[in-house]
Amino acid sequence: MELRKQELDVGIVPAHPNETIAFYRDVMHFEALPSVPLGRDLTQHRFRIGKHLVKLNQYASPPEPQSGGIERAVGMRLLAFILDDLEATIERLQAGGHRFDWFPGAESLPYRVGFTRDPEGNVLELVGLARPAGPRLSTRMQIGLTVSDVERSRHFYGSVLGLKEERPMKVGGAVGTRYGFTWGTTTIKFWGLPEAPPLQTGPPEKRAGIRLFTALVRDLDLAHDELAARNVPIRVEPRTLSDVARLLFFADPDDNWIELVQLL
């Protein structure tokens, strides 16, 4: 699957759209792009960080809120953002009453890491660079999954999709080891737990939270044929959206939905 853009995008379905839009715009200071109507009952609010889009898919009837946290469910449970202005972001978080917790690490590292949550309860890992990278750093997001079977997910992302595996990283605690695969320049990272929590995956509109991630491809039909040849479950066959793009959805072994988009 040849990518048109090397950075992946992510889709969040908010149960509290107004608060969540304000959070990513005013607290995280992501660049707000024009909102896009995607039908009578769906509006997409878009924010840019680096070359990634964070897409908030607002439904006319928002789904019920879901509990955040990597330990509460199998699915897309965390987004990591690499920032040049972490200290200023922390000030805005605290001014807005949002909790921020540092992750203890060696002072010699060229970055610092901490965690917060957006108004939906989604866990955000914030990575602050000691030396700002500016516009030259276009890859500023990672996607974190809690999976039900680590080896099955490693096989899918590595052998089936053909993504490059990063070196496993010991992180301790209930997570134990973090595994990562690079798609384009974006890392998809995941971990298992001693006892797998319930699934919160499936169609994006089914529940609130981090619901999908997107790869922009050059040839959707070719990508579809490659997936079908590898017996990857296609959840939505290729279709045209508003004469702007064609898209399809497929799923990983835990039924996390992954979107492929070809611009027209």
pLDDT digit string, tens, across residues 182-200: 999 999 999 999 998 999 9
| pTM: predicted TM-score of the whole model, two decimal places | 0.95
Mean pLDDT, the chain, whole residue set = 94
The partner residues of 112 in beta bridges, in order of sequence, read 128
Q: Which residue has the tokens 């866990």?
A: 123
In a domain, 143, yes or no: yes
In a domain, 3, yes or no: no
In a domain, 87, yes or no: yes
Structural domain containing residue 230: 9-263
In a domain, 1, yes or no: no
Q: What is the CA radius of gyration of the chain?
A: 18
In a domain, 108, yes or no: yes
pLDDT digit string, tens, across residues 117-136: 999 999 999 999 988 999 99
Q: Which residue has the tokens 């509290």?
A: 16
User: What is the per-residue DSSP string for 101-159?
Assistant: EEEP--TTSSEEEEEEE-TT--EEEEEEESS--GGG----EEEEEE-S-HHHHHIIIII
Q: Tell me, what's the pLDDT at 130?
A: 86
Residue 29 near residue 85 (C-beta atoms within 8 A): yes
Q: Tell me, what's the pLDDT at 172?
A: 74
In a domain, 98, yes or no: yes
The arithmetic mean of pLDDT across residues 39-63, rounded, is 95
The arithmetic mean of pLDDT across residues 74-90, rounded, is 97
What percent of the chain shows pLDDT beyond 70? Answer: 98
What is the total count of domains within the chain? 1
Q: Tell me, what's the pLDDT at 174?
A: 79
pLDDT digit string, tens, across residues 208-239: 999 999 999 999 999 999 999 999 999 999 99
Residue 169 belongs to a domain with what CATH number?
Answer: 3.10.180.10
In a domain, 236, yes or no: yes
In a domain, 207, yes or no: yes
How far is it, in rounded angstroms, from Cα 181 to Cα 80? 14
